[in-house]
Amino acid sequence: QEEARKQSQRLILLFCLAVFVLVVLTNALFVVFVWFSDIGNLAGTQRINVSSLPWYQALLAIIDNFGWDKIAIVSAIIVSVIAVATWSKWSDLSKGGHVVAELLGGKRVSPDTKELHERRLINVVEEMALAASMAVPPAYVLTNEQGINAFAAGVSSDDAVVAVSQGALMQLNRDQLQGVVAHEFSHILNGDMRLNVRVVATLHGLTMINETGRILMEAGSRRSYRRSYGFSNSSRKNNGGQFVIFIAGLALWLLGTVGQFFGEVIKAALSRQREYLADASAVQFTRNPTGIGEALQIIGGYGKHSKIDNPRAHELGHFFFSAAFNSRLFATHPSVDERIERLLPNWNGQYAESTAEAELRSEFGDAVMGFSGGSLHAEDLSKAVQSESSGSSDISFEFQEQAAAEPAFNLKSLLERVHTSYDAKGVYYAFIGHESVATNDWSERIAPLSLSQKLDLLRAAIPSLKTLSKEEYSAFRSSYLQVISADKKRSLSEWLGFELFRNPCDRFFGLAKPVKPKYKNIESIAGFYRIAVTKFVQMGTRTTRDQLAAIEAAGKASGIDLAGTKLALNISTKEFTTACSELKKAYPLLTPRLIKGLLAAAEVDGKVCEIEQKLVSILAAIWDLPLPTLEMSEAA
């Protein structure tokens, strides 16, 4: 994510440079145009003799004679046009990943779909999200696209979606699809999606000069045509004025085309390197280079390759897993062969054919609605969710867990049952101990589960909550708030449950916008961080000495002065949750240090308990950071 921020800074620098060049060239063109036309006389500009001067002195003399005030006006107009266009595109695309998916013809897959290909996609996306301790993003299918491709879109993990083409859905087997989806999840976790949206908005702003020129050209040629054929009573001598408009439009169009050209080159250069990093992250995520490698082999040998037919494919081509269109100069992705060779060094150069259909029947042979047991990642996930808490008395009040060798309900079957909005609401109510008709029998079902398993279940229910209408979701949200506020004392588990669905669902339904950064330096957040760290270490399984050591480790790792922190402070849950919410408003370069400090505190004694593991994961999600590496101790 740090690399993505550096890429964003480079993009801003290049964007400013491109705008500056466009402003200079447009002003030069405007001055010369006015100088050699009759418009200069109308503007009160008197020509001077510059024939004896060198060209650069002549140009400066013309500009000085023209007036720097007029130059400033022209510059302001150009910058305003670019800024408004950039802001407009950013506003549209920052509403959530579903906007991009729908622009490209995506259809949302229902979480409780019975279609086998879609069921497999839902399972794979769900597994990846739970392994990453993030909210499960909605899945989309580009139903009209037969090329094999996929993308992730959104501004943050809260509003992310994962989409695959119909070709990918039909042609890839489970391991191959998993490799592709893992690639897209790496874009989510590394902050690449936000960079992609910025690239689109930036290029749209630069393109507006081109578009303005095109409009002027059309206006000039159309009005000139009307006068020439008697459609206007105005004198035909005004045709000269229309010709001037046409020429001005042509000049702007040419300048805009130059800006657009360099913008496309910048986009391609930024995107290509990110794809290599995402491939490597996918392998690290799945521990299986063969899956994504074989997916690329099938793309190479498939008739439509990864081509996307939607007209917006060129504008949004850098979002995709593989090249959405053919272009050498503006290629947003490395070649398929290069990517395969990096993933599979012993590749023989032969492409593969799809065997997905036969494997699909085999995969769902034993349990049409269950997870495939043949996936390495699924096995890892199963091990993770079967970890049980020791129930140590040092863990905070509401997180006492009853050790259970075998839960009464299998987690995998429960994950399948939260694929309706009714059951999704029920499991959230059951998590906070609220008994109602909506809870159904969820209280009994989740009682034997560990905290880790319960939180995974809540994350898996989020896509089903997003199938509600905006009115239905608002009603559920209000009801949930009433329940957790009834005793005027919100517990930590209630806060966790609310935060898990509030962030992604509020963004999805347009009830909240991305949080604007407020705190620019470490000193401004030190007080909030002191509260968060103190409560965090007190919830762990530590002696007082270990708690002090953990606070010291957090201070060193984060670079925040925590000296003199008093463990005797009685920090309430409200103070802790308020501090965490305020820390979310820190500038992006500061928030990774917060997680780094918590990681150091959790690992200081070599024992990481379940509540520490899940709190770090949830805070990382709330602060929109990649999932940190944190292994839970067997003894914790």
99-193+274-343, superfamily in CATH? Metalloproteases ("zincins"), catalytic domain (3.30.2010.10)
Instruction: Provide the pLDDT for residue 563.
Output: 75
pLDDT at 407: 43
The residues with which 164 forms a beta bridge, in sequence order, are: 141, 150
Is 161 strand, coil or helix? strand
**The pLDDT of residue 119:** 92
Give the bridge partners for 139, in sequence order. 162
pLDDT tier for residue 5 given thresholds of 50, 70 and 90: low
Share of the chain above pLDDT 90, in %: 27
Candidate from 90-99, 223-232, 243-252, 429-438 with smallest mean pLDDT: 223-232
Every domain of the chain and the residues it spans? 2-95+196-219+247-272, 99-193+274-343, 404-508, 522-622
Tally of CB atoms within 10 A around 77? 14
Spatial distance between the Cα atoms of 554 and 631, rounded to a whole number of angstroms: 17
Mapping DSSP to helix (H, G, I), strand (E, B) and coil, where does residue 586 land? strand
Residue 381 has what pLDDT?
Answer: 32
- Averaged pLDDT of the chain: 79
Q: Which of 164, 165, 160, 168 is nearest to 186 (CA)?
A: 160
- Confidence band for 18, pLDDT divided at 50, 70 and 90: confident
- Mention every residue, 6+ apart, whose C-beta is less than 8 A from residue 153: 97, 99, 100, 101, 160, 161, 163, 193, 196, 197, 319
Residue 105: is its pLDDT beyond 90?
yes
Q: If you average pLDDT over residues 189-212, what whole number do you get?
A: 85
Q: pLDDT-based confidence at 179, cuts 50/70/90?
A: very high
Q: Among 35-39, 88-92, 483-487, which range has the highest average pLDDT?
A: 88-92
Please, which pLDDT band fits residue 11 given cuts at 50, 70 and 90?
low
pLDDT reading at 262 higher than 90: no
Instruction: Summarize the confidence of residues 7-31 as an average pLDDT.
Output: 77
pLDDT band of 503, cuts 50, 70, 90: confident
Top-confidence residue, 187 or 28: 187
Contacts of 503 (CB under 8 A, 6+ apart): 135, 158, 512, 621, 622
pLDDT of residue 568: 60
In this prediction, residue 48 carries a pLDDT of 60
3 — pLDDT class (breaks 50, 70, 90): low
Q: What residues are labeled active site? A: 184
- pLDDT for position 455: 82
Q: What is the pLDDT of residues 600-627, one digit of tens each?
A: 988 887 777 777 877 787 787 778 776 5
Residue 270 has pLDDT above 50, yes or no: yes
Lowest-confidence range among 365-369, 545-549, 577-581? 365-369
pLDDT digits (tens, 9 = 90+) for 505-560: 998 898 887 777 788 888 899 999 999 998 888 877 567 888 888 888 999 999 98
DSSP string, 241-274: HHHHHHHHHHHHHHHHHHHHHHHHHHHHHHHHHH
Min mean pLDDT across 73-82, 436-445, 465-474 is at 436-445
Give the pLDDT of residue 408. Answer: 44
Distance of CA 467 to the CA centre of its chain: 20
pLDDT grade for 438, boundaries at 50, 70 and 90: low
Mean pLDDT, to the nearest integer, of 80-91? 90
> Per-residue pLDDT for 376 more than 60?
no
Q: What is the pTM of this model?
A: 0.76
Tell me the average pLDDT across 334-342: 93
pLDDT digits (tens, 9 = 90+) for 106-156: 999 999 898 999 999 999 999 988 877 788 999 999 999 999 999 999 988
pLDDT at residue 367, rounded to an integer = 43
